[in-house]
Chain A
């Protein structure tokens, strides 16, 4: 029953997202044709303009335009990018996996930074290690991704001659080694940003779990300290950590726009930005919808995962 409600809400939300994306692009000053062609639009003859309006479906009512766009999206017709000479579906099929890989690597790095530092900070509150954790998390929350990315890119290229992103992008299938080298800095930048909330959540959750009775009992029974920390404390602190990690996907997908642009990673964030810069609204419209869909699905998935790892939710 709850699951059915959840799915219904999700479908409703996605419909709302589609409406918003559609309305947003109709709010552009002037219309798509003028915006796309710029000053050249003035040179169009009435017949040419009419033909273009017909091509884009602008001569029809907004209602018809919306549902024909939505119908097209549902049947896999995402539109066509005239500049790239490719369908938006093809573009997306190439860019989405790149961003997914970047997101996964970023999360792995964020967990590798955030969880151990959070546990370390919690191991002795108000100590030097706790202060270290606070400084790292404050830095992660305060240093903008674009600043960190720009600085890392310059410093690594100049001081260590490390600039794999200067070459053409290699996918994981093309050249796994080059691909990972190219993903290293972008994933580090994004991972550092989300390590901060993960660190803070880990610290709070570990502190809370540690004061529970079952931890005292386990310690009294003689469970070795390392096992106690990992199995009993971390195991039970996992629920808020997973929830927080899931929540960071929004930051990741937004941050991907900036980071992909700086490191020339051809992901979906860059596709949106390129669409905006080149005024290809069909590309922007469909890509934004795909990203929102991915984001909503990740949230659903986090919710499901949360049920799997939390024994209390499983039991109820």
Chain B
């Protein structure tokens, strides 16, 4: 694998944020992210409170760390579900063609007819909201992307000699799909996973900004930014900290996606 500065940069940023996220799940944060402490409200960043405190005296660093953990969890679950369902759909659609292809294509077209954020928003608004249903709402939006990304290559792989040879040996279609077709499209899927993770993080943050994400008091980067709107001039750190971290998280994922595309996509080899 060639070295890619983007890949390296993305990996370093994500590793740092992963440490913070894991610390939040392991209960290793300096303060309880939802515990209120009115006497120390609006404390500026200091040794005691790295990113200061908010209007309820809650530690912003702990809240941001916990928000990163929650965002990452939702994005990972959403993309895992979208990858599994979308890849399976794309494989079946491209390999079986016919009725299956028509049906899956129809569903894909319908889901693609919605602007992504609007679909996530509508789904989140009707579901009983918790982190899991938000992940499902986001997953549904990204399933069709995985279907489209895998279907094309599967269609062409299907006609390749070794796949046809496998057909002639009497292997079952499912065996061929998973043993001979899927391994050949993994790089495409891996790139799509990285890019979808960055969109999923943005979607989750937008939903919670609009009040349709994980319900309070669970900290979420989007809702922290929403609450900080009116506090910008009193306590700018309440906006800057979650804002910078959400951008850092998405930059990390985008760099990872770009880096993976540069290294894994055969069309990019030999360029530059």
The residues of A with any CB-CB pair to B shorter than 8 Å are 9, 12-14, 16-17, 19-21, 24-25, 27-29, 125-126, 138, 141-147, 150-151, 154, 158, 249-255, 257-258, 261, 269, 272-273, 276-277, 284, 288, 291-292, 295-296
Check if B239 sits within 8 Å of A14, measured CB to CB: no
Q: Bound state CA distance, A28 and B129, in angstroms?
A: 11
From B113, B202, B209, A296 is in contact (CB under 8 Å) with B113
B99 at interface (Cβ–Cβ under 8 A)? no
Contact A17 B232 (CB under 8 A): no
Taking a contact as CB atoms under 8 Å apart, the answer to whether B239 and A257 are in contact is no
From known contacts A27-B126, A261-B210, A284-B122, infer whether A142 and B254 are also in contact, taking CB-CB under 8 Å: yes
In Å, the complex CA distance between A147 and B208 comes to 12
> Per-residue CB proximity of B204-248 to A under 8 Å, as 1/0?
011001111000000000100110110011000001000100110
Q: Known A142-B251, A144-B246, A276-B121; judge A158-B113 contact (CB<8 A).
A: no
A-B CB pair tally, cutoff 8 Å: 126
Contacting A at CB under 8 A, from B72-130, are 106-107, 109-111, 113-118, 121-123, 125-128
User: Measured between alpha carbons, how far is A19 from B111 in the docked complex, in Å?
Assistant: 11
A9 to chain B, nearest CB (A): 7
What is the CB-to-nearest-CB distance from B203 to chain A, in angstroms, rounded to a whole number? 9
> Can you list 20 contacts pairing A with B, beta carbon distance less than 8 Å?
A13-B109, A16-B106, A17-B113, A20-B110, A24-B122, A25-B126, A138-B255, A141-B250, A142-B198, A142-B251, A146-B222, A146-B225, A147-B225, A158-B233, A254-B116, A257-B121, A261-B210, A291-B114, A291-B115, A292-B115
Residue of A nearest to B124 (CB): A276
Report the Cα distance A58→B75, complex, angstroms: 36
| Identity of the chain A residue whose Cβ is nearest the Cβ of B230 in the assembled complex | A154
**How far apart sit A145 and B202, CA to CA, in the bound complex (Å)?**
9
Distance A277 CA – B210 CA, assembled complex (angstroms): 10
Residues of A within 8 A of B228 (CB): 150
CB distance from A168 to the nearest CB of B (A): 20
A258 to B113, Cβ gap below 8 A? Answer: no
Q: A143-B247, A154-B232, A257-B210 are in contact. Are A138 and B254 (CB under 8 A)?
A: yes
Asked whether B118 lies within 8 Å of A145 as measured between CB atoms, the reply is no
A253 and B109: CB pair below 8 A? no
Least CB distance, B134 to chain A, in whole angstroms: 14
> Are B255 and A255 in touch, CB under 8 angstroms?
no
Q: Give the top 5 A-B pairs by smallest Cβ distance, nearest first.
A: A254-B117, A16-B110, A254-B115, A253-B115, A142-B250
Please pick, from A142, A144, A284, the residue contacting B125 in the complex, using a CB distance under 8 A. Answer: A284
Q: How far is the CA of A9 from the CA of B115 in the complex (A)?
A: 18
Contact of A29 among B123, B128, B202, B247 (CB under 8 A): B128
Among residues of B, the one whose C-beta sits closest to the C-beta of A292 is: B113
Point out the residue from B111, B118, B127, B210 that lies within 8 Å of A291, measured CB to CB: B118
